[in-house]
Every structure is written in C-alpha cells, then in structure tokens.
Amino acid sequence: MPIVPATTTNLQQAARLLRSGQLVAFPTETVYGLGGDATDDRAVAAIFAAKGRPSFNPLIVHLAEIGGMAPLVAFDSRAERLAERYWPGPLTLVLPRRTDSPVSLLASAGLDSIAVRIPAHPVALALLRAAGRPIAAPSANPSGCVSPTTARHVADGLTGTLAMILDGGPCPVGVESTVIDLTGDVPTLLRPGGITRETLEAELGPIALAKASDLGGPRSPGMLSSHYAPALPVRLDARSPRPGEALLGFGPADGAEMNLSPRGDLTEAAANLFAMLRALDQPRYSGIAVMPIPDHDLGAAINDRLRRAAAPRA
Ligand code: AMP
Ligand code: MG
C-alpha cells in the first residue's frame, strides 16, 4: 500500500481511484481520513471492513464546497451561519438527511441525519474537488485505536485494504472535528473537537451536551466509551509515574518521557496527542500516565480523547 507525496499527478490518480470505488487515505487538518465514495454502497462497506468499525457507527461525509451539500442534507439558518463562519474547518454538522439524498444509507448507519464537513487542508480540498462527489472519511485507523496524524501512522495500522495513502505531512490540529447535532431545536454537542464549545456558544447561544445515556445510543452511535486506545493501560491526572509507567507530561514536568507541551499550550498539546500516545505505546512500559490537562478550549477535546483511551476495554 504505497505512501505517495500529494503531488498534482498523485491527487488526480487518487481522485480516479475514489471514483472507481477504491479507498484512499488523505490528510485533513484534524487527522488522516480513510476516504471512499459516500454514494457507493460497496466503497462505504469497504471502509467499515477496513477499520473493523461497527456498522451502527455512521461516517462523516466530506465535500469541498457548500454548494454540493444541498442535495444531501437540509440546512437551516443556524447551519448556514456555522458553515459560513467555520468552513472549511474542524466542525462537523449533523443535519436532516434529504429523502432523495444520494449518500449511501450505510454511511449514515440508517439514521435520518447525515454528518457533513468541509475540511481545511489544501490536500483534502484538492482531492475532494478532483473527486467531484461526497467522500465518506472516518479516521484512517483500526476502529477503537489511536487516530493517525501522519501517513506512516496510517500505513502502520491499516494493512492491504487501501489503494493509496496521500502524504501531506503531520496534521496541524491533531484531534478530530467538533460534532454538533442541529437536527433538534437545541444544538447538541456530540463530540468536543477542533472548534471549542465556547466559540460555538458565542455564535448559537446555549449548546446542550449529549447525555451519558445518549452515548452509544442512536443519537451518537460513535461515542463509545472505549476508543482512541493504545495497547497499554492509560492513567489520567497523574502527578508522577508509578514504577514501569511512562509519564506523558503537560507543562513543566520532571521525569516525563515525553511532553505534550512543555509551555502548557493546548493547541500544541492537541497536535502532539495521538503521535505521543503511539510513541509511548511500547511493551517496555507497564502503562502510560498522563498529567492533568486543563479542561477549557482544546483541552476539552484532549480530555475527551484521553478519558476514552483510559476507559475499560470491551
Ligand atoms: P470519525 O469516524 O472518527 O470521523 O467519527 C465520526 C463521528 O461522527 C462519530 O462519533 C459518529 O458517531 C458521529 N456521527 C456521524 N454521523 C452521525 C449522525 N448522522 N448522527 C450522529 N452522529 C454522527
Ligand atoms: Mg475515529
């Protein structure tokens, strides 16, 4: 499965592969995506198979232009406002599915809504434009494991099932998009991510948090409690390592094996999170202990991923 640089020629080839129903991994500003034609049931089924992803966990559908979304989903004024302001960007909107939407029912797990996003990465945008159709793209890693933020991470995790991996360097944001559900009267945050809740509330007013009872339920089928998990156990809010543990620091940290951000910067920490969890996931340690991360701004997304990484495994 070749890793190739994102040259114009390779982008054209990747777009051809997508149009012929094959899978291509590509960089976005959040994490690397595993792309397939969202209107092709077989391509979508191949995404679920490649990831070992439960088919009740729907995929985000990506496009380069907002104009291309009108046939797929219904925008209300809130959705238009957010799209105008934050697209391209790390924000996913869950919107009512149009009855004649061409998106595979499997991609949205049979729900009457579809999650859509325009990513802010030049390679992703060029590929989506060249493909000229909606592309379903979950993170390009085996389901439940740490998300990939480099092309190498993709190749290490997914074997054999991909036609091409486009290399666009490390992902600048490093945690997944914020997912907000706009199908009801009150906007609901399904997943904290690259755009903070505080920022969205300034735009929309109060945003509800998905209730714990929704998590794993029909509202947010993908919010499984164990996710983003390295092989080693993860311990949170650690002040110092226990014998055998690797300490993942944040801010000034004596004895840390690696540090998400020595200067305590949440944006830098988000960009480093998945790569450092992977780097420390080695049999010579007994576990990964992570120092406390403040819960504001991007810290909310970081802590969400860490809580799932530390959750009891299925
Ligand atoms: P990922 O595959 O990592 O990009 O995650 C996509 C996230 O969006 C998962 O948590 C899904 O459960 C969520 N999602 C996608 N489509 C929908 C939808 N129609 N309704 C609610 N959540 C969705
Ligand atoms: Mg994922």
pLDDT tens profile 2-13: 899 999 999 999
**Backbone φ and ψ of 269, nearest 5°:** -65, -40
- Specify the pLDDT at position 227: 83
Same-domain pairing of 15 and 141: yes
User: Measured from the CA of 219, which atom of ligand 1 is nearest?
Assistant: 21
- Report the separation in Å between the CA atom of 239 and the middle of ligand 1, taken as the mean of its atom positions: 34
For residues 151 and 167, is the Cβ–Cβ distance under 8 A?
yes
Same-domain pairing of 156 and 241: no
Q: Which residues line ligand 1 (CB under 6 A)?
A: 57-60, 94, 108, 111, 113-115, 138-139, 176, 179, 190-191, 220-223
For residues 56 and 159, is the Cβ–Cβ distance under 8 A?
no
For residue 206, count CB atoms less than 10 angstroms from its CB and return exposed for 0-12, middle for 13-18, buried for 19 or more: exposed
- Report the separation in Å between the CA atom of 60 and the middle of ligand 1, taken as the mean of its atom positions: 6
Same-domain pairing of 34 and 124: yes
Q: How far apart are CA 289 and CA 237, in angstroms?
A: 8
Cα-Cα end-to-end distance for the chain: 30
Q: Give a yes or no: residue 227 inside a domain.
A: no
- Report the separation in Å between the CA atom of 175 and the middle of ligand 2, taken as the mean of its atom positions: 10
Structure tokens at 132: 């000229």
Using alpha carbons, select from 64, 58, 175 the residue that is nearest to residue 106: 58
Within 8 A by CB and 6+ apart from 122, the residues are: 168
**Which one of 186, 214, 242 terminates a domain?**
214
Give me the mean pLDDT over the 230-246 stretch: 96
Residue nearest to atom 10 of ligand 1 (CA): 222
Q: Is the whole-model pTM more than 0.85?
A: yes
Task: Please give the residue range of the domain that contains residue 47.
Answer: 3-214
Q: How far apart are CA 129 and CA 72, in angstroms?
A: 17
Same-domain pairing of 247 and 101: no
- Report the separation in Å between the CA atom of 239 and the middle of ligand 2, taken as the mean of its atom positions: 29
Number of H-type helices and E-type strands within the chain: 8, 15
**Which one of 214, 244, 262 terminates a domain?**
214
Structure tokens at 180: 């907000």
Range name among 63-72, 74-83, 158-167 with the lowest pLDDT average: 158-167
For residues 58 and 181, is the Cβ–Cβ distance under 8 A?
no
Q: Could you say which ligand is closest to the alpha carbon of residue 218? A: 1
Rounded to the nearest angstrom, the gap between the alpha carbon of residue 193 and the centroid of all alpha carbons in its chain is 8
Give me the mean pLDDT over the 265-282 stretch: 96
Radius of gyration of the chain (CA): 19
pLDDT tens profile 21-39: 999 999 999 999 999 999 9
Amino acid at 53: R
Range name among 96-105, 166-175, 189-198, 220-229 with the lowest pLDDT average: 220-229
